[in-house]
Structures are given as C-alpha cells and as structure tokens.
Structure 1
C-alpha cells in the first residue's frame, strides 16, 4: 500500500501564494499581526502550526493547549518525558515539552523534508539530542521505536483535514501501543464535524487496544449539535484522570468538555472499528 502522510491541523485561511513549494505542500509562514514573534505555518491553505519564536511555551491553538493539559494531568509537573510525535508541522509540542520539562527527549516522524527545512530556516527550530526529526512516513516510523520506550505518543498527521487512513487502523494503533510504557499516553488530534462518524470510529478503534479512552472537544460537538472542528482523544492502559485534564484545560481557557467511560461508549454507539482491510476514512468524514 502507498504510505503518504502530510502534517498538522488547523482552520482554513488563504495565504498570499507560497513561500516554498515543498514535495508535498504549498507552504507559507505568516507573521501574527498581534505578536511580532508569532508565526503561523500554512500548508495548502490550512493553518497547521503556530510558533512563538521567543516563547516556546506560548500555545495558540485550542487543540494544542488540550495536548499540553493532558500531559500535565498525566505526568508529574516538570518531569522529563520521552515522546514521539507522528507529524511535525512547526514542532510546537516538542518545543513546548523541551521548554517546560527540561531533559525531555522528542523524536518526530515528518514525511516532508521541505517542512523540516522551513522549521529550521524560518521557525527557529534547533534540532539535537532532545529534538530529533526523521524524514519518514509516520507509520513506518513506529516500527523503528523500541517496545516500551515512550511515555507519550502524539498523533497530529494530516492530509488536508483528514488523518491518513493507514494511521487510523487497529494495526497502526497496536504499533503505538507497543511503543508506549505501561503508564504511557497516546494523544490524537482528530478533525470532524456533523455526525462525527469518523471521530466515533476512531474512538471505537482505540477502545479495542487501550484499557482507557477519553475524548475532549467543544461541548456542542459532543452533544451532537452538528458543529465540529478539532477533537483530542487520549488513550492509555493506565487510568486517565479526566477531572485533572478538564481542570488543566479550564486553566488554559480552552473551553472544552471531556467524556469517558459509559458516556463515551454510548457516544461511540455502533461505530465501526477501522482496520487495514476496512478504513473508509474519507467516506466517514463530514467535509467542510
């Protein structure tokens, strides 16, 4: 099968042309008019990452704040962790972890060398022992991770607004599960709207492998009002402190709610489990 994965996620904007034509993207870096050191990485008209060149702890997108809230809820404050990131974008989360948890080590699978070049040349990324980027497909990169070697895996790989199907399946999830330590957490960004059929299927898929799963997003989206956008899913074999996660998001003014347990199982309903033989991601997604 062909294994292709573009990176990142965000809302739609229209850039004034491309700063760089990479192998996969029309890429632009846009300065934040309200923050002189703020930069937005735009790939094919989508805002994929926000980076503050002077402050790696500044998180702009709500779903990235939800990631940070999940990390602080799951791991003791300031403790170094070992993380793997499926999708690089502007390397916002790896840089955040390095800044807030000194001694943390981050590896990143990013398929587009052009994006890595932009990170270094325009977004002040400094690669080294604590931040290693591998130009590779995200799923193939999982095979190179030693079993039980990561505290955290972050899934943030997108082609447009769709997660590449081969990263959504039970087989892919099992590779992530293998790489995590017993207390480890998989944090996944999903974009969907309307009936959220893809989001429900992805949660159902995670539930086949992990003992504990929780979901956060806009309260209206989870209540079925037809809205949508980003949803963040956490999965772990260790119990997830959803109250702490919600409190951390509140402190960051995210404004999202969390569901887990029986409420999440009821929300998932009879959604299909995605496999390498059956992963109709494009058909399940509600288009924007």
Structure 2
C-alpha cells in the first residue's frame, strides 16, 4: 500500500513530537491537517497506527510504517543533500542511533567526526535493549550485544568491551570486599535496573548473586565516581578505571575475572551512502578501542 510522502513525514513528526499540536507546529500546518493525514494512512493500512495518548505512541503496525517512513525520509534527505552540494550549499540528514552508555562515554563519540553532513540523535540504552529501538524504527543503527540481526537489518561484530570489578580502598577495608565470601553482602552500585554486569561478575566469582544494598546511578561517569567515592563496588570499563587503579584510588576485586561484553553493530539493510559512511567510522573507532573477538 503506497503512502504519500507528506503523510510519511507527518507520521514521523507526530511520533517524534508526541502531540498533534507540536507536530503541526513543526510541519507548519494545522492540527486538523495532521489528524486527517494520519487517519488517511490508517484507512490505507486498514489498522490503527498510533495510540492517541499523551505522548502519542505508535502501535505495532505503526512501528512498521514508521520504520518505512524513516527509511524513505533518509533517502530523500540524501538526495537533497547531494543536490545542494552540487550547488555549493550544505545539507544535513538526521541520523538517529542507539548506543549503550559505556560505549558513549568511552569510544563512540570519538568515532564520529563532525563533518559527515549529518545531524545525530543519540539514544542511550542498555546494550541488551538497543535492538528494540531498531525494531520500532526509532533508530537507523545501534550498538548492541545481540548477535542475531533484527529483521531488515544487517549485523557485524565490533569487538569486546572489557570491564573490571573495583572499589575504593577504604570501602574494601570496611566491608572486606576483596574477600569473595564477604563481597556479596557489601553495598553495590548498578547503572539502572537493567544492569546485570555486577551480578554476572558475582556469579562468576562466587556462584551466587548480591545480598547487599544496591545504589542506582544512571550515568556512566557518575557511576564510576560513585564507586570512587566509596558508595559501593562496581564493574567499570577498563578505559575508565585504568587511571584509578594505577594511582591506587581504586582497588581491583578479582583482576583475573574481567567481564567481557561483546558488541555488535546493527543497521538498516538499506543502500544509503551516509549510513555506509557512519558504519565505516564506527567500525574504525571500535577497532581502535575494543578488544577483537
């Protein structure tokens, strides 16, 4: 079922802005026009595409159409950008990407040079859940720990991000954290409730999980600082904890048991020069910072 280009643009704006009024302002049309275009798409699809909630959310069918809409808009933006470059004007295509917090804070930003002719919209999400944003059409590509390709996407390995379990020296002394028998009862720092790296480390070390209190610090640099300040022990990327370990500000808990997280790059299986170029830079950045797998 073919959709009109303006209708695809309207659906994308509605989901991104969250309300009919905000989408109308972005598109310079009336709220009624936005509503009429969406209804026309739903009639063509024979299904409801968006839930009229606040904010507006796509249905499962809406996710599929949204993914198609964003692919069409990307190709249109690339053509327009190429035409503008011929006329010596600059154009920028919008590229939404999903990245896990630790990659974002250690290597991913450096991998993307500012002169790609793109406007990046980065969605921070746990590496085990970034594929959900791909399935919904919210992003064009994602750093993920999932090796199985999402339908309509290609996948390639990037490398392994290595973590070490560490804590502050006074914390280690106070709670006996370097003793595997006592560590499960010591306070722990988690990134959020999706974060299972600390529990993975404990299972490898002791065969069980944590029995102590858990702090939640949902920002990569703040997480590392909370561990440094003695809030609890935590699992931190090698790049982030190397200086603290070298200076003695951090104590390793079991350096022989690093936690390895294999990362993959999944992207729309779409012929897009811009997405190809982004992929090349991500691949090179990963090769420079991650361990080969």
Tell me, yes or no, whether TM beats 0.5: no
Q: Tell me the TM-score normalised to structure 1 length.
A: 0.22
More strand by share: 1
Higher relative contact order (CA 8 A, sep 6+): 2
Q: Which has the larger radius of gyration?
A: 2
More helix by share: 2
